[in-house]
Copies of this chain bind each other. A is one copy, B any other.
Amino acid sequence: MAGSTYGTIFKITTWGESHGKALGVVIDGCPSGLALCEADIQVYLDRRKPGQSRISTPRKEDDAVEILSGVFEGRTTGTPISLLVKNTSQRSADYSEIASYYRPGHADYTFDKKYGFRDYRGGGRSSGRETIGRVAAGAVAAKLLKEMGITVTAYTRSIGPIEADMSAFDKDTILSTPTAMPDIQASALAENYLKEIMSQSDSCGGIIECIIEGLPAGIGDPVFEKLDANLGKALLSIGAVKAVEIGDGIQVSKARGSENNDAFRMDGNRVIKSTNHAGGILGGISDGSPILLRAHIKPTPSIFRPQNTVNQNKEEISIQIKGRHDPVILPRAVVVMESMAAITILDALLINMSAKAENVISFYKS
C-alpha cells in the first residue's frame, strides 16, 4: 500500500515524482453537475507555485493543469476527474550527487529502508511537488463547498518568531503578501527575517492556521472518524507538519473545565456557543461554530550549510546541499492545508447525508 489514496466517497489518488514526466490526481466520487474548468483549478495551483517572490525558490514552474476526464460540457459527470500537470523545469543534474547519501531531515534514508532504493531526483515522491495533486483536488472540493456556503481559509500565522497580529486580520492580504500572512506589517517583518535567515544559509518554520466557516452542526462521525481526527490526519499527512491543534489546542492541557467549557446560548432561534475553545467540534462532530485548526511546520531541511550524514556505503561524510530551495515552505503550504481541509470536510458532508433514516426514506420516496 503506497498510501496515495484518500477519502471515502470523495476519494482522491495522487501520483507523480518531483522529476518524473508529470504529476497528477484522480478524483473519484465528485458529485455530478458541478461547473468546472481548468481555470478553477489553476488559481489554486498558482498559489503553491514556486518562483513568485524573493523568499521562494527561484525555480520557475508553470504547473499548468489539464483536465483529462470527468468533465463534459463544462460540468463534472460524476465519473473520475483526472488532472495532470507536466514537469517542465527539472534539472536532475543538481541531484545526481544525493543519490549516494541521506540528507538530514529528508526521507532519503527511510525510503531506501522501505523500498530498497529510491528515485532520488529532487526527492522523488517525497518532494513537496507531491502536493500538486492535493491542491488540484482541493480546488474542486472548495468549489463545491462554496456552493453550500462553506469556506476554508488558511494563512500563515507566524514565521519563526514573527507572528501576525490577528486584530489586523485581512483576508485579501493572505493572497497578496509573499508570506501569505493576513497582516501586511507582520509580513514585511517576516520578509526581513527570512532574508537574514537566508544570508546565514539557514531556514525556519512557522505556524499555519485554518478556519472553516459555514459548516452546519452534525458533520463528522463518532469514535474513529471524528472530524477533528480526520482533519488532524489530513494536516499531518502534509510533509513537515509536526503538530496539529484544534481550537484552543495545546492550551487545554493547562486550562480548567470552568474555563474551557463553551456555554450554549440562543442567538434568536439558533443554538450557538458563547465561546469557541472547542474549535467548532464536540465529540468529533461539528457544532456549528467555525472550525479552527493550527499546524506547526518544521524548517525546510535543505539548508546550504555543511551537515554531517552517512552515505549508502555506511561512511560518515560531510555534505553541502545545492539546488534551489525555499528558506521557509509556509507561503506555499498554506493552499495545501486549505486543500486538505476542504477535501476532508467535503467527504464528511457526503458521508453524513445518510445519517438519519428519515432523510434516506424521503430522498428515495420523492
Apart from A202-B257, A228-B236, A264-B310: 19 A-B pairs, beta carbons within 8 A? A21-B66, A22-B69, A22-B82, A33-B116, A77-B125, A79-B124, A102-B264, A113-B218, A114-B217, A114-B355, A115-B355, A116-B358, A125-B222, A130-B222, A203-B258, A226-B236, A243-B245, A266-B314, A266-B316
CB-CB nearest in chain B for A230: B233
Interface pair B242/A243, CB less than 8 Å apart: no
The answer to whether A271 and B203 touch across the interface, beta carbons within 8 angstroms, is: no
- In Å, the complex CA distance between A205 and B252 comes to 6
Chain B min CB distance to A321 (Å): 10
Closest to A352 in B: B114
Asked, given contacts A1-B9, A78-B356, A226-B3, whether A68 binds B252 with beta carbons under 8 Å apart, the answer is no
The reply on A43 being an interface residue by CB < 8 A is: no
Chain B residue with the shortest CB-CB distance to A101 = B264
* Bound-state Cα–Cα, A308 to B217, Å: 20
Number of copies: 4
Best-buried of A102, A228, A264, A296 by chain B (most CB within 10 Å): A264
Residue A95 interfacial (CB < 8 Å): no
- Complex CA–CA separation, A315 to B269 (angstroms): 10
Task: Decide if A175 is an interface residue (CB 8 Å cutoff).
Answer: no
Q: Which of B9, B16, B147 contacts A68 (CB 8 A)?
A: B16
Partner of A357, one of B31, B286, B307: B31
Contact B253 A286 (CB under 8 A): no
The smallest C-beta distance from A38 to any residue of chain B, in angstroms, reads 12
| A24 interfacial contact with B, CB 8 Å | yes
A119-B72 contact, Cβ under 8 Å, with A34-B357, A80-B13, A125-B79: yes
Cα distance A89–B77 in the bound complex, in angstroms: 22
- Name the segment of A51-59, A164-172, A179-187, A298-306 touching the other chain: A298-306
**Nearest CB to that of A271 among chain B residues?**
B310
9 nearest CB pairs, A to B = A107-B283, A3-B225, A3-B221, A203-B257, A110-B285, A15-B80, A233-B233, A113-B218, A32-B115
Q: Which residues of B contact A102 (CB under 8 A)?
A: 264, 271
Q: List 6 A-B contacts (CB under 8 A).
A: A114-B219, A148-B361, A229-B236, A242-B278, A243-B252, A255-B298
